[in-house]
A and B are shown apart, each in its own frame.
Chain A
Amino acid sequence: MFSLNDLLVILPELYLTAAACLVLLFDVFLDDEHRDATHWVAIVVMLVAIFLVIRGQPPETVTAFGGMFVRDHMAEILKVTVLIATILMFVMARPWLKDRKLFIGEFYSLSIFSVLGVMFLVSAGSLVTVYLGLELFSLPAFALVALNRESKLSSEAAIKFFVLGALASGLLLFGMSLIYGATGTLDLHAIFAAIGTTQHLHLLQFGLVFLVVGIGFEFGAVPFHMWLPDVYEGAPTPIAMYISAVPKLAAIGLAYRLLETGLGPLAGDWRMMLAIMAALSLVVGNVVAIAQTNFKRMLAYSTISHMGFVFLALSNPTPEGYASALFYAVCFALMETVAFGVILALSRKGFDCDMIDDLKGLNQRSPWMAGMMAIAMFSLAGIPPLWGFAAKVLVLKAAIDGGMLWLAIVAIICAIIGLFYYLRVVKVMYFDAPAEDVELSPKPDIALRWLLSINALGLIAMIGFSGVFFTWCQHAFGV
């Protein structure tokens, strides 16, 4: 049985469920002329959701439905970031979608449902909620990737994403069943408690491996990264932006809930797995990114390497480590939105600005956009005074504190390799002459320009507020 209190705890999620249905319904009654109304309604819906998440946040962790649902500060930070990232996507996607006749209401309702899945996932208190949240997030995401049904590339990407995603959730589910078998419970806290007394340690470890595989897939860490470049390249650019930011945030929640809340006592086992995945992701991501000519594919490999950085922090299973990982993931999401946002701003009807060479001489054509992109690139490379630098420092610090000095050294060597391809983008924009045959969008949408600028300049400003934000992150993990 549940009480009214339980409903209050999940009020933001309840609200968003209703709102997603309403957006879907509302859109049915609009003709194409008035589709903009859906856009604005969707944005308002998200803003209200942010308000509800923040406003209703209890000072202490509360649970609902017998521990199935947890509302704590970590979930709050993740939810707010996911909502912000989605709003950014909505605003930046509109002109792009309009140009390609993809400006349809389903885009909004699918996205909102997907976000809803993330919100459940990061608040999960039991294996069931974890799985439900993950599926609710993934299924709309598969559909979103296939939004442009006339594009073969998109369909291919969607099918790849779907098949591999299904495989990963299958593995995750299998792992969960093993853990259930070993502990006799689905509740994460109960699992934690049962590990001390269980007779089936090997079964647990066996299950753990499958969970780590599922988590690795969600992050896109090597060796479970193969879907990522294809999805980035094939998906419509706004969706690629969504896929680059939101699942990573969800994965932080997933990893924390499963590995720390549930299987914390096995940290000695899983931290080494994460460390190895971190090292592999860093090496493969950075090295392969150098060879890319497609900008979106390059960003995909860069994402893989950044996930290596997140794992670097997670391999130090302390509140400090988790806080750094959370910090990094939020920072990463907001850097990706800038990088993709510039691409969206420069694309026009019939032309996707998604090759690196399309950016040639951008400084002469559109200095402001070039500046935004340069900020994103330097931030991704972790050069001060940009926000990515603070994130990198915190993550490296977490690794060193966790006794993983070797991993930190691997990470920085890879960062040097990675620097090259970020700098190449800047080089192409600033030092090369514009390509004659490339025609960029003459004047990007005003809302897009403003939001993009705020987002990018925020990457500079946030270095000053890193302290405040890191304190929140630490607070989320009870430091």
Chain B
Amino acid sequence: MSSSTPQARSPGDRVCQKEARAKAMGHIVLNGLMAALFASLFVRAGDLPSSMWEPLGSGTFPRLILAVMMVFNLLIIAKEGRRYMACQPLAPHAVRDWLWRHRLAFGVLGLFTLLTLAVPLVGFRWASLPFLIACQFLLGARRPRALLIALVIAVVMSFGVDALFRHVFTISLPRGVWG
């Protein structure tokens, strides 16, 4: 009997069951989205031109892969659908709790997203400097000494790295509008 069946009784099992249900839902959503995307790509690949010089055109190899992947997607959806049905429903605040537990990961991801968007606009130096300071602050550098270290690291990793690449490796990192 798998641990995800309704017969599990201990608190640990219940947590495990909730996680299994959430993951099963995640698999179903992800594979459903992928299957839809792959189906549209499959159709698109069919329109790719073929050549008189080769039996396989540009679209054959991708179509082969896409077809196999769609089969895998459906198999995973079927398997995880059964698991989802067998698990207890999630508590109403489960998603909120999960998001709160992962707040730092999402915070870092948000800052990294801002960094990637800012690099072409303001250049590597001025985008990475606030990223490095903000990220270290978010992850716990709050006292004056820690903030000073964070500042030094930020300057070295932004202005220092930029200078290293420009003058030693002769590679210009993005300069942005303030270049």
A binds B: no
Which positions in B face A, CB cutoff 8 Å? none
Which positions in A face B, CB cutoff 8 Å? none
